[in-house]
C-alpha cells in the first residue's frame, strides 16, 4: 500500500515536471515569436519607407536568375538601370496598365473581381485567367520576395502589397514596377529593356514599342519584344487598341 502511494506521488511529480517543462517551452516559443514578429515588422516597414525615396538597386528575382545562369552555364546577363518615371515614355505605363491591370488606379492593391474569376475558372477545370495578380502585387513580389506559389509567400505578398499601397502610393508603385519587372532574359526595367530591344532610351519608346514590351511580360524569358511570335503580335495589336481608347495615366 505504501509502495503504491509512493508510485502515485512519483507519477504526480513527473506529470507536474512535464507540465512545467511544457509551459516553459511554450513561453519561450511565444517570446521568440513576439521578438521575431517585432523584428520582421520593423525591418519590413523600414525597407518600404527607404524604398519610397531610394532607387532599388537589385531585387531577389535578379539574384535568383543570375545564380540560375551560373548553375546552368548560360551567358551571364543582368541588365538593369534605374530611371525616374519622368524619364520613361508615358506610352509604357499606359501599355502595362492596359495589359496587366486595368483597375490599377481604382483598387487598393487587390482586384477581387479578377480573383473571383480566376478561382471560378480553376474550379471549373479551365485554364487560370490572367489578371488576378495586380501591378501592386507584382511589385511587392518582385522587390521583397521570391518567385513561387506557396501560401506562405502569398501571405507575405498580401502584407507587402498593403504596405506599399499605404506608404508609396500609385505613382511610386508604377515607377518601381517599371524599373524592376523582368522584361527579358537577364533584362530588368524599362531603360534596360528599351536599349536591349530597340536601341533607344525608355523616354523615346513609341506606342507600338511600349505595347511590345508589355506584351511579353507574362513570360519575358520565352518571348521577345522585337522578334514577336504570332501570339505576341496579336497581344501587341490588342494592347494598342486598348491604348487608343485611353488617355495617358494620371497617377
For residues 68 and 19, membership in a common domain is answered with no
Instruction: Please state the pTM of the whole predicted model.
Output: 0.84
Full domain range(s) for residue 11: 1-41
For residues 103 and 196, membership in a common domain is answered with yes
Instruction: Report the C-alpha gap between 192 and 169 in whole angstroms.
Output: 24
pLDDT at 204 exceeding the cut of 70: yes
For residues 103 and 33, membership in a common domain is answered with no
Burial label, 125 (beta-carbon count in 10 A; 0-12, 13-18, 19+): exposed
How many domains does one find in the chain? 2
For residues 168 and 228, membership in a common domain is answered with yes
For residues 8 and 101, membership in a common domain is answered with no
Contact 87, 93 (CB under 8 A): no
For residues 140 and 26, membership in a common domain is answered with no
Stretch among 4-18, 85-99, 187-201 having the lowest mean pLDDT: 4-18
Q: What is the pLDDT of residues 33-83, one digit of tens each?
A: 777 778 778 899 999 999 999 999 999 999 999 999 999 888 889 999 999
pLDDT above 70 as % of the chain: 84
Task: Find the CATH number of the domain harbouring 185.
Answer: 1.10.3810.10
The three cell numbers of residue 159 are 502584407
The three cell numbers of residue 14 are 513527473
**CA-closest candidate to residue 133, choices 91, 171, 104:** 104
Mean pLDDT of 95-101: 96
In a domain, 206, yes or no: yes
For residues 34 and 72, membership in a common domain is answered with no
Contact 105, 251 (CB under 8 A): yes
Instruction: Report the C-alpha gap between 190 and 183 in whole angstroms.
Output: 8
For residues 29 and 106, membership in a common domain is answered with no
For residues 78 and 153, membership in a common domain is answered with yes
In a domain, 47, yes or no: no
Tell me the three state secondary structure of residue 186.
Answer: coil
For residues 74 and 33, membership in a common domain is answered with no
For residues 58 and 181, membership in a common domain is answered with yes
In a domain, 200, yes or no: yes
In a domain, 225, yes or no: yes
In a domain, 1, yes or no: yes
In a domain, 227, yes or no: yes
The set of residues, in sequence order, having a beta carbon less than 8 Å from that of 214 and lying 6+ positions away, is 92, 95, 96, 98, 99, 100, 239
For residues 4 and 102, membership in a common domain is answered with no
Burial label, 174 (beta-carbon count in 10 A; 0-12, 13-18, 19+): buried
In a domain, 163, yes or no: yes
Q: List own/partner pairs for 122-127 with CB under 8 A and 24 or more apart.
A: none
Q: What is the pLDDT of residues 206-215, one digit of tens each?
A: 999 999 999 9
User: E strand or H helix at 40, and its extent?
Assistant: helix 2-51
Amino acid at each position: 500500500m505504501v509502495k503504491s502511494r509512493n508510485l502515485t506521488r512519483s507519477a504526480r511529480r513527473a506529470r507536474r515536471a512535464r507540465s512545467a517543462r511544457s509551459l516553459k517551452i511554450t513561453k519561450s516559443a511565444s517570446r521568440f515569436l513576439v521578438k521575431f514578429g517585432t523584428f520582421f515588422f520593423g525591418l519590413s516597414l523600414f525597407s518600404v519607407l527607404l524604398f519610397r525615396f531610394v532607387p532599388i538597386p537589385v531585387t531577389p528575382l535578379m539574384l535568383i536568375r543570375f545564380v540560375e545562369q551560373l548553375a546552368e552555364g548560360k551567358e551571364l546577363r543582368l541588365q538593369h538601370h534605374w530611371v525616374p518615371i519622368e524619364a520613361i515614355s508615358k506610352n509604357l505605363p499606359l501599355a502595362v496598365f492596359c495589359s496587366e491591370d486595368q483597375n490599377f488606379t481604382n483598387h487598393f492593391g487587390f482586384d477581387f473581381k479578377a480573383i473571383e474569376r480566376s478561382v471560378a475558372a480553376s474550379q471549373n477545370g479551365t485554364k487560370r485567367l490572367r489578371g488576378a495578380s495586380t501591378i501592386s502585387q507584382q511589385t511587392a513580389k518582385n522587390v521583397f520576395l521570391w518567385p513561387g506559389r506557396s501560401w506562405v509567400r502569398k501571405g507575405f505578398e498580401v502584407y507587402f502589397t498593403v504596405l506599399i499601397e499605404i506608404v508609396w502610393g500609385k505613382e511610386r508603385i508604377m515607377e518601381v514596377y517599371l524599373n524592376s519587372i523582368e522584361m527579358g532574359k537577364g533584362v530588368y526595367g524599362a531603360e534596360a529593356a528599351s536599349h536591349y530591344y530597340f536601341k533607344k532610351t525608355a523616354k523615346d519608346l513609341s506606342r507600338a514599342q511600349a505595347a511590345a514590351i508589355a506584351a511579353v511580360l507574362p513570360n519575358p524569358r520565352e518571348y521577345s519584344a522585337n522578334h514577336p511570335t504570332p501570339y505576341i503580335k496579336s497581344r501587341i495589336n490588342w494592347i494598342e487598341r486598348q491604348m487608343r481608347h485611353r488617355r495617358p495615366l494620371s497617377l
